[in-house]
Structure 1
Amino acid sequence: MRWFRIYRLLLGAAWRAEMQYRGNLLMNVLGGLCYQGAGLAFIWAVLDRFGNLGGWTLGEIVFLYGLRLAAHGVWVVPGHQLIFVDQVVVEGEYERYLVRPAPPLLQLLTRRFRPIALGDLAGGLALLAIAGTQVPVDWSVPAVAFLILAVFGGAMVEASAQLTASALVFRLLKTMPIKMLIDGLFNEFGNYPMKIFGPAARFGLTFVFPLAFVAYFPSTALLNRTGELSVPSAVAWFSPLVGFVLLFLAYRFWCRQSRHFQSSGH
């Protein structure tokens, strides 16, 4: 609770700093919405031409897209500053974190607030709300609870991948290419059902790079499409828990790698 209170105070300070330029805040949010909207427009054009994608209808694809985007927004709103960890370490800013009475990772995450992330989150939630009325799902209390858990679980999967890559900065000093590759994989492949890919790609995007656990597995569970999976249906229902396990492991990895930090003056 003490660290949560510190996080809330630091994040509040970062938010107030951004609110000094409200026009910039609005443009950043709109920019995030437009960027994600372009990806959705491409999918719509494909489905308008072919009718379905791997047997998935437009409503089901939008639901999958919305779930993936909402999970992305939930992770990127608090975790966006991991993108700048190379700069923080190389330029010596990380050294200041070590002499302050708060965990260095907490200070890194709250150094600034990135308004464009709100556009991703708002877009994902809006798509989920719209697509939720177009798909054959009985929105009972357990179904809604599973959807909420799936959003947070998917966010943890993406956060764990980015945190793991960021932890390598203490050895490599330059992790941006790795993080951009990870972001590209989520954006390029996370919006489609794994069914459309070949067996090797499905295996890789499930057990090597756990992209399928973000939105595809939870979507198949809610849409009653677990019959198309090459894994037991229980994997889809328990997929949200995978994110929390991966994030814990990623955090432990960060802690171990941070011991190799060297001052920029060395």
Structure 2
Amino acid sequence: MFQAELFLRYLVQYLKVRLEYRSDFLVQLGTDLLFQAVNLIFILVVFTHTTQLSGWTREEVIFIYGYFLVPFAVFSAFFNLWDFNERYIIKGEMDRVLTRPVHSLYQIVMETMTPESLVGAVTGLLVMGWAVWQMEWTFHWMDPLLFFLFVIGGAAIYGGIHVLLTSISLFSDSKTDIQPIMYNVGNYGRYPVNIYHSIIQWVLTWLLPFAFVGFYPASFLLRDDRWLTFALLTPVMGLIYLGLGIVVWNWGIRHYRGAGN
């Protein structure tokens, strides 16, 4: 398939460039790991003052946090759109992208991907492994398949929301600070949703469904039947939000005026 071959070529070229500056590459990996460690320490500090958090034990909250890191790492690796406005709109590189016979969003995903962010998935799996080791967790043969579907669905939710926000730049060349705000909101999905006010729970479920990125699927893997229906909706929500993001993107491309206008 042409798109798959093109993706592999971009990936090889990216790795060649990154490995030319190995120190910078290793420093970034270390920074990412340190950031994740700080969040884990925060959870541990909270549980020095309590044994449970709205009915969730320390190990369960750590498991949910570790799970969240996996889809978030996939999102970070392939939807690195933070500087889209500056690079593609203000500097005019979007005009170059539109002259090529490949979907514009696919090109931008390939040009901005950061595969080293996938190290966060490894960290997440290790954190989950430690939590499972501490708990009486039973393995089911369907867990790996469900885990894969949940991760892809969660990454698609994150990606779809950020594609939606990025599409705003196609209608206006003004800089916006919406994405950093949305990044902070997304962090709420790494903790049990029932610790928040009911309004926040509704927002994190139906408006900005970050609870599907971390909490709902992780709680299902923990055999908590209270959230079964929500967990199974994760791949569906991923399709809906990523599809919506692509539709709005295509709409923005049709209205894009070009750097010279």
Q: TM-score, normalised by structure 1?
A: 0.91
Alignment match, 1:68: 68
Alignment match, 1:251: 246
Alignment match, 2:232: 237
Shift of 1:238: 3.0
Q: Secondary structure at the match of 2:223?
A: coil
Q: TM-score, normalised by structure 2?
A: 0.92
Alignment map for 1:171-182 (pairs within 5 Å): 171-174=171-174, 176-182=176-182
Is 1:9 the counterpart of 2:20? The answer is no
Q: Secondary structure at the match of 1:43?
A: helix
8 A contact 1:64–1:216 mirrored in 2? yes
Alignment map for 1:154-173 (pairs within 5 Å): 154-173=154-173
Write the deviation string for residues 125-164 of structure 1: whole angstroms up to 9, x where unpaired.
3222322333443222202221222112111111111111
8 A contact 2:65–2:191 mirrored in 1? yes
8 A contact 2:150–2:234 mirrored in 1? yes
8 A contact 2:160–2:242 mirrored in 1? yes
Distance 1:29 1:124 in 2: 14
Alignment match, 2:59: 59
Q: Secondary structure at the match of 2:134?
A: coil
Distance 2:130 2:20 in 1: 33
Alignment match, 2:30: 30
Q: Secondary structure at the match of 1:5?
A: helix
Q: Which moved more, 1:148-157 or 1:32-41?
A: 148-157
Distance 2:197 2:113 in 1: 39
Distance 1:138 1:157 in 2: 28
Number of residue pairs the alignment of both structures matches: 260
Change (3 A) 1:103 1:239: closer
Change (3 A) 1:124 1:175: farther
Shift of 1:239: 2.2
Q: Which moved more, 1:210-219 or 1:168-177?
A: 168-177
Alignment map for 1:60-99 (pairs within 5 Å): 60-80=60-80, 82-87=81-86, 88-99=88-99
Distance 1:7 1:115 in 2: 12
Counterpart residue identity of residue 25, structure 2:
L
8 A contact 1:136–1:223 mirrored in 2? no
8 A contact 1:29–1:116 mirrored in 2? yes
Counterpart residue identity of residue 190, structure 1:
G
Q: Secondary structure at the match of 2:257?
A: coil
Alignment match, 1:105: 105
Change (3 A) 1:53 1:186: same
Alignment map for 1:78-227 (pairs within 5 Å): 78-80=78-80, 82-87=81-86, 88-114=88-114, 117-174=117-174, 176-187=176-187, 189-227=188-226
Distance 1:123 1:181 in 2: 25
Q: Which moved more, 1:169-178 or 1:252-261?
A: 169-178
Is 1:265 the counterpart of 2:260? The answer is yes
Distance 2:85 2:3 in 1: 24
Q: Secondary structure at the match of 2:79?
A: helix
Q: Secondary structure at the match of 1:110?
A: helix
8 A contact 2:193–2:211 mirrored in 1? yes
Change (3 A) 1:249 1:135: farther
Identity %: 25
Shift of 1:22: 1.0
Distance 2:135 2:158 in 1: 25
Change (3 A) 1:179 1:131: same
